[in-house]
Amino acid sequence: MRTLVIVESPSKGKKIQSLLGNAYVVRASLGHIRDLPASKNDVPEQYRSAPWARTGVDVAGGFKPLYVISRKKAKVVKELREAAKNADRVLIATDPDREGEAIGWHLTRVLNLKDGQFARMTFTEITKDAIHQAAQNPRTLDYHLVGAQEARRLIDRLVGFGVSPLLWNVIGSGLSAGRVQSAALKILADREEERMNFTNANYWRVTANVMSSPSFIATVTHVRENPLALPRDFDANGTLKNDVLLMTTEQAAQLKTYLSRQTGVIDKVTTTPFTQKPPAPFTTSTLQQEAARQLRLRAEQTMKLAQTLYEGGYITYHRTDSPSLSSEAQHASRQAIEQQYGAQHLPERARQYQAKAKNAQEAHEAIRPSGTDFKTPKETDLNGELLSVYDLIYRRTIACQMNDAQGEKTVVVLQAGVVKLQATGKRLTYPGFTLAYQDAQEDLEEEQTLPSLPAASQYPLKDVKTEEKRTTPPGRYSEASLVQTLERAGIGRPSTYAQILTTLQARGYMRPAGRQLAVTWLGLLVSTYLTAAFDNLVSKDFTAKMEADLDAIAEGKQGRVPYLEAFWTNGLERTIAGATRRAPILGIPKVPGATCSARGGIPTLSLNGRHVVLPESLAPDELNLEVVEAVLAGHWSASPAGRKASFTSRQAGTHPKTTSGKRTTTRQAKPGKARVSKKSTP
């Protein structure tokens, strides 16, 4: 009996072929073999006159899709048909998720396979035992999963083909709007608008070295019982909102001189125990976040590396939003812990984890090393970034099954004349799971360690430092923090996060700014229009609800056609018909009268009848009066890093030097309720 096994990628197929042996023939479909038509040229002649031919979705006919085989896949399809004819049975071994189920369904239709001629083979790791067990215990195709994937695909097509033409009319040709991408863009745009409206404020931080054994750093918190201003005491307009002390430059200097002559007296020491639990095993999103934080990998890079590790049999399936571990994985983890660190670091029972994100699917377990006996990173033949990602996964899986770390947090309050200072320290009393990270680069919330400090004991204060600081606007999202936000909101699925980021950048709506993501002027204009015309489409709650509805279809609790009718026919289609055709115009908060609009799809700055194209590398939050004048005069240029504004030599002597489009001169913070009289400082 000869069995044909169809997988998605050649590398995966090669590995599985080696595990199954000559009784099986393994071939790859190279992903989807058919889809909705990409252009009118892909539409068969008999359908080109149909009113729905442009979208490939016959809405009036019950949302019937028109699927066509890609020209690029013609050769693959021909080879798969030949292989299927020569096989006694066919096992569809595409990925164990919604998309994989749909690819499998398309394969059965294109290869003309009848019920009984094929079965669904699923596995979450590529090891000999797992593959043989999957081949011997296939299941039927899950048509509910297929229906959910098809509903998602049709929604994306209808949204894109329905909304994109409006963007062409009001902003510029060639633009497009995606269902999930638009919600992600809205998140980025909202953060940039917060930054555009933010006004910095200045405050002072004063520290001293307390000369105990060992010495430690303490920070001034009060002067004459008046608390010093901190960032939380200012609102977004740079105005003080709390009754605190905001020092001037002179007062900060006076305080430094005063403290240098004082002795710190221990007023209060508070020590409290703390327990630190190990982080849960990796899901797709948490792996992307940690790889970005520790390895500085983009989400797309992480997914490609994880794909290679999965196909090579090193890790389990890498597209999952479940942090749970199988009993097999728990046993393997505990066995590794006992061998490497000792049984004393094992909790009585294995730990189990559940997803916290909205709409999480628990179909697969967490990402972990494959098999029943985990290979340490040194025992693999991996190197470079593959080894680094495997090391992350290995340590995380081991650590999650170890005891909690325990320690003490100490807060010390000192009095130095009329000045109060505070120092905080933390130390581990029992390492627990942190042992798994001893020789890794991962930080574990390290703080200074404080010595034993008896009450009323006195210590000299040395190296008093004053530092003028500025409040900062909300930080831009990084790939990791955006992925985390999307996951918590229930927007998209683990397999879509990397593609969302890639698409936003490819469309010109977002660009990397160092390790952060900066929305472009074009992205801001698109988001502004979509928010005004389709507030539901870009709403996090609406998008998350849609994911929940797709889950209901996947579980057989909701019909595909009734859902599509409610979403499209009675919903978005009507909204599109009544949507505004007015082009968005953005005001520049810090430059009254200045606006940004799109002329032929190109973001343009306007002020007092003057118009100029906005430089692509100029971030929206960098636009202040000086930068506006420089851009209008044609003198603005970007630094090589593309992140800081500078003026050309033609402006020398006529404009102050700028950094990031902002004056370098110190601005006096607004006083608010601050007390800045001489009585407030020593």
Q: Which residue has the tokens 């009784």?
A: 23
The question of whether 317 is a catalytic residue gets the answer yes
Contact residues for 643 (Cβ-Cβ < 8 A; gap 6+): 513, 514, 617, 619, 660
- Alpha-carbon distance of 446 to 340, in angstroms, equals 24
Which residue type, as a one-letter code, is found at position 343? A
Q: What is the three-state SS of 154-192?
A: HHHHHHHHHHHHHHHHHCCCCCCCCHHHHHHHHHHHHHH
Contact residues for 530 (Cβ-Cβ < 8 A; gap 6+): 163, 177, 182, 185, 186, 537, 538
Q: What is the three-state SS of 498-538?
A: HHHHHHHHHCCCEEEECCEEEECHHHHHHHHHHHHHCCCCC
**Cβ proximity of 568 and 158 under 8 Å:** yes
Provide the Cα torsion 357, 363, 368, 370; round to 10°: -170
- Helix or strand (DSSP H, E) at 487: helix 479-489
Dump strand ranges (E) for 54-153. Answer: 57-58, 64-65, 68-69, 89-92, 118-120
- Helix or strand (DSSP H, E) at 148: helix 143-170
The C-alpha angle with vertex 376 and arms to 375 and 377, in degrees rounded to 5, equals: 115
**Cβ proximity of 478 and 517 under 8 Å:** yes
Which residue type, as a one-letter code, is found at position 535? D
Crossing angle for the helix pair 479-489 and 284-295, nearest 10 degrees? 160
- Helix or strand (DSSP H, E) at 75: helix 74-85
Q: Of 24, 314, 317, 459, which one is the catalytic site residue? A: 317
Could you give the C-alpha distances from 624 to 458, 631, 652, in angstroms and in order? 50, 11, 19
Q: Helix, strand, or coil here: 199? A: coil
- Alpha-carbon distance of 55 to 40, in angstroms, equals 9
- Alpha-carbon distance of 679 to 252, in angstroms, equals 13
**Cβ proximity of 376 and 356 under 8 Å:** no
- Alpha-carbon distance of 178 to 164, in angstroms, equals 8
- Alpha-carbon distance of 357 to 294, in angstroms, equals 23
- Alpha-carbon distance of 666 to 668, in angstroms, equals 7
**Cβ proximity of 612 and 634 under 8 Å:** yes
Q: What is the largest CA-CA distance in the chain?
A: 95
Residues annotated as part of the active site: 317
